[in-house]
Every structure is written in structure tokens, then in C-alpha cells.
């Protein structure tokens, strides 16, 4: 039974001094046993503060890498070895090195959904909740924003004073939603507010009542006086909100909003990782940690 596995996980993690971090796209039964649940930015800050020697990440590969970069002395295990984010693999470090040589006047901003190798050649990271603030705080006017052109276009729209260059990357899950789906959802639920993640295409964002990261969407819905919401991000967010706010109604904007990578992790994966019988331990050489940490620490500093 689910509750038996959960009890065993809770017992073992206490006994072995293991911290379990879960991204908010994880299923309810996973978030229930996690020490901390949050968006990418919150997870990276938590990882830095946490004192346990071992951390299990229920999320995708770049999130576990971020924990390792920020806490290199820790043993960091990705609960499901195959859980990756396709967006993270879209750009090679060699491209950024070439771009920098040709365009030394640009600051290169990497979305946190990138590999550790890419972070070693970028100047600063951002997450969806910190992207506007961090790009505003970068002294340079010229910014190359990668890889997500939708998030980047949203940042550029909010910061007209900056010259932001974009590439053709992005999240295949969020980018698949189209504006007619917003119209259809609104027609079905005319009193609902539309809350969307900035990884969606600009024509979807234009129709939203609120745009924000996963945590910002959840906070907005919890605090709002409205009773119905159309949720334009991964389907788990609508599910978590339905548990958290039983007096409100939540509708997924599209059936396409299901990230198969985020859904790979199961409770037995977490249990096996705790027992040392599963998961993927993140290994990284010192040079990568040192260079990539500059990029992530710059994000934490500029985001304060
Ligand atoms: P957040 O930064 O909002 O947590 O989003 C992570 C992610 O993978 C979005 O698709
Ligand atoms: Fe990557 Fe998109 Fe899945 Fe987020 S929802 S982990 S960006 S594929």
C-alpha cells in the first residue's frame, strides 16, 4: 500500500539523515514524503541551506545537478535515473563559447533548466520566478537569453530597456499549448481566472490573467478571492491546488500539460534510492562544480 511505502521512506530518511527534495510537478504521494517542495529557485536555495549529508532529488536531472553544484560535499541522488528535461539538452557549451567570442558585449543568461556543462560557460542563471528581477539587475543592457525563447520573450516584454537576444529553444510540453485551447477553456469555465507558466508561447500568455512560476501560480490561486482557475502549467499543479483548496475548482488548461519526465519518479524509486539500491548518484568534477557554481551563485545574489 502507498501509506506503507511512505512510512518506510519516512523512517529510513530520518535514520539515514537524508533530505528529500521534490519539485512541485511531482505527484501528490511524492510531495507528501518530501522535506521540501517548491519551484526550481526555491529548491536550489533549500539545497544550499540544508545540512544533511545526503539528498534525494525527486525531479529531473538538472535539478539534482544544481544541488550537487551548490553542495559538492553532499551525496546527491536523482530518484529516477532516466528523469531528464529535454530543454536542458538543447544547447551545447561550444555554441556559447563561439557566441561569446563573436559578441563579447553580451551577458549570457542561462535558464536553470540547462546542464551543468552549459552553466560553466554562461554568466548567470535564472529561474522562471527570478528571471525578470535578475535580468533587470544585470548591469549590461545586452543579454543573450537561452534556451527558452518563450520565457525569454516574456522577460524582454517586461524589460524594454534591455536588448535581449533569443534562441529557438523551449519546453516541448508548455510550448505545445495553443491560444485556441485558452479560448475553449474560458468558454467552458467563464468565471475562471487563467494562470499560466511563462514557458507557454506569447499568444497564450497574452490571454492569461496571471503569469508566474509554479510556486507563484500556487500562491496566487491560494490567496485569490476567485473560486475557479484554469491552470496553464504541468497538470500536477492543478492537482496539488485541488487538495490544498477544497473550496475552489481547478481545471487543467490542456491535456498536453503532462511532463513524462517529471512523472517517472515513483515511491518505490525513492525507497530504493534511500536503501542505496537505485537512483543515480550525481558525479561531477571539481572544475565543472567551480565554474557552474559561479553562474548559480550569481543568480542567488542578483535574486536577493
Ligand atoms: P519552475 O521554475 O516554475 O519550477 O519550473 C520548472 C520547470 O521545469 C517548468 O517546466
Ligand atoms: Fe523540462 Fe518542460 Fe518537463 Fe519542465 S515541464 S521538466 S521544462 S520538459
Helix, strand or coil for residue 219?
Answer: helix
The per-residue pLDDT for range 56-96, each reduced to its tens digit, is 999 999 999 999 999 999 999 999 999 999 999 999 999 99
Pocket of ligand 2 (CB under 6 A): 60, 85-87, 113, 171, 173-174, 234, 259, 261-262
Which residue's CA is the closest to the ligand 1 atom numbered 6?
40
Instruction: Say whether both 22 and 155 belong to one domain.
Output: no
Residue 270 CA to residue 250 CA, distance in Å, equals 28
What number does the ligand 2 atom closest to the CA of 88 have? 1
Q: How confident is the model at residue 13 (pLDDT cuts 50, 70, 90)?
A: very high
Mean pLDDT estimate for the chain? 95
- Of the residues 127, 196, 262, which should be mutated to test ligand 2's pocket, given the most ligand atoms within 8 Å of the CB? 262
Q: Which H/E stretch holds residue 270? A: helix 267-275
Task: Tell me what pLDDT residue 245 has.
Answer: 97
Three-class SS of residue 228? strand
* Alpha carbons 190 and 162: distance in angstroms, whole number: 37
Same domain (yes/no): 165, 140? yes
Grid coordinates belonging to 294: 559561479
Which ligand does the CA of 23 lie closest to? 1
For 105-149, the DSSP string reads: TPEEEEESSS-HHHHTT-SEEE-TTTHHHHHHH-S-SEEEEESBH
Range of the domain at 119: 93-171+289-302
Assess whether 204 and 278 both reside in one domain.
no
| Residues 236 and 274 occupy one common structural domain | no
Residues 43 and 185 in one domain: no
Contact 113 CB / ligand 1 (< 6 Å): yes
Q: Whose CA is nearest to atom 7 of ligand 2?
A: 171
Same domain, 189 and 167: no
pLDDT in tens, 183-240: 999 999 999 999 999 999 999 999 999 999 999 999 999 999 999 999 999 999 999 9
Alpha carbon nearest to ligand 2 atom 6, residue: 85
Q: Is residue 257 part of a domain?
A: no
162 and 293 share one domain: yes
For residue 178, the tally of other CB atoms under 10 A from its CB is 15
Q: Is residue 18 part of a domain?
A: yes
With cut-offs at 50, 70 and 90, classify the pLDDT of residue 304: confident
Q: Give how many domains the chain has, as a whole number.
A: 3
Given a cut of 80, is residue 41 above it in pLDDT?
no
Indicate whether 156 belongs to any domain.
yes
Which ligand 1 atom sits nearest the alpha carbon of residue 212? Answer: 3
Clarify whether residues 14 and 75 are in a common domain. Answer: yes
Cross-strand bridge partners of residue 252: 231
Within 10 angstroms of residue 239's Cβ, the number of other Cβ atoms is: 16
Q: Report whether 131 contacts 198 (CB < 8 A).
A: yes
- Residue 26, domain member (yes or no): yes
Q: 56 with 42, same domain?
A: yes
Q: Is residue 76 in some structural domain? A: yes
In a domain, residue 222? The reply is yes
Which residue owns the Cα nearest ligand 2 atom 2? 171
Same domain as 79, residue 22: yes
* Cell numbers describing residue 281: 548518484
pTM (predicted TM-score) = 0.94
Cα Dmax for the chain: 58
The DSSP element (H or E) to which 102 belongs, if any, is helix 93-102
CATH number at residue 217: 3.40.50.10800
Residue 156 and residue 298 in one domain: yes
160 domain residue, yes or no: yes
Amino acid at each position: 500500500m502507498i501509506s506503507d511505502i511512505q512510512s518506510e521512506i519516512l523512517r529510513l530518511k530520518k535514520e539515514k539523515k537524508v533530505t528529500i527534495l521534490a519539485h512541485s510537478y511531482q505527484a501528490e504521494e511524492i510531495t507528501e514524503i518530501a522535506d521540501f517542495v517548491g519551484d526550481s529557485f526555491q529548491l536550489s536555495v533549500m539545497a544550499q541551506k540544508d545540512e544533511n549529508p545526503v539528498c534525494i532529488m525527486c525531479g529531473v536531472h538538472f535539478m539534482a545537478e544544481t544541488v550537487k553544484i551548490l553542495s559538492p560535499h553532499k551525496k546527491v541522488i536523482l530518484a529516477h535515473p532516466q528523469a531528464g528535461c529535454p530543454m536542458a539538452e538543447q544547447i551545447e557549451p561550444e555554441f556559447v563559447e563561439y557566441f561569446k567570442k563573436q559578441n563579447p558585449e553580451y551577458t549570457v543568461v542561462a535558464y536553470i533548466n540547462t546542464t551543468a556543462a552549459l552553466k560553466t560557460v554562461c554568466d548567470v542563471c535564472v529561474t522562471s520566478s527570478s528571471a525578470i528581477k535578475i535580468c533587470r539587475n544585470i548591469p549590461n543592457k545586452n543579454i543573450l537569453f537561452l534556451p527558452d525563447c518563450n520565457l525569454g520573450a516574456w522577460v524582454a516584454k517586461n524589460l524594454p530597456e534591455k536588448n535581449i537576444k533569443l534562441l529557438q529553444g523551449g519546453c516541448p510540453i508548455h510550448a505545445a499549448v495553443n491560444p485556441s485551447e485558452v479560448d475553449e477553456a474560458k468558454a467552458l469555465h467563464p468565471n475562471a481566472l487563467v494562470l499560466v507558466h511563462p514557458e507557454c508561447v506569447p499568444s497564450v500568455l497574452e490571454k492569461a490573467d496571471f503569469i508566474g512560476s509554479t510556486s507563484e501560480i500556487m500562491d496566487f490561486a491560494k490567496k485569490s478571492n476567485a473560486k475557479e482557475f484554469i491552470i496553464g502549467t504541468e497538470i500536477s499543479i492543478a492537482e496539488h491546488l485541488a487538495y490544498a483548496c477544497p473550496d475552489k475548482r481547478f481545471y487543467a488548461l490542456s491535456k498536453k500539460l503532462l511532463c513524462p519526465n517529471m512523472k517517472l519518479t515513483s515511491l518505490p524509486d525513492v525507497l530504493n534510492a534511500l536503501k542505496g539500491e537505485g537512483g543515480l548518484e550525481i558525479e561531477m568534477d571539481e572544475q565543472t562544480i567551480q565554474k557552474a557554481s559561479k553562474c548559480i551563485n550569481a543568480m542567488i545574489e542578483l535574486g536577493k
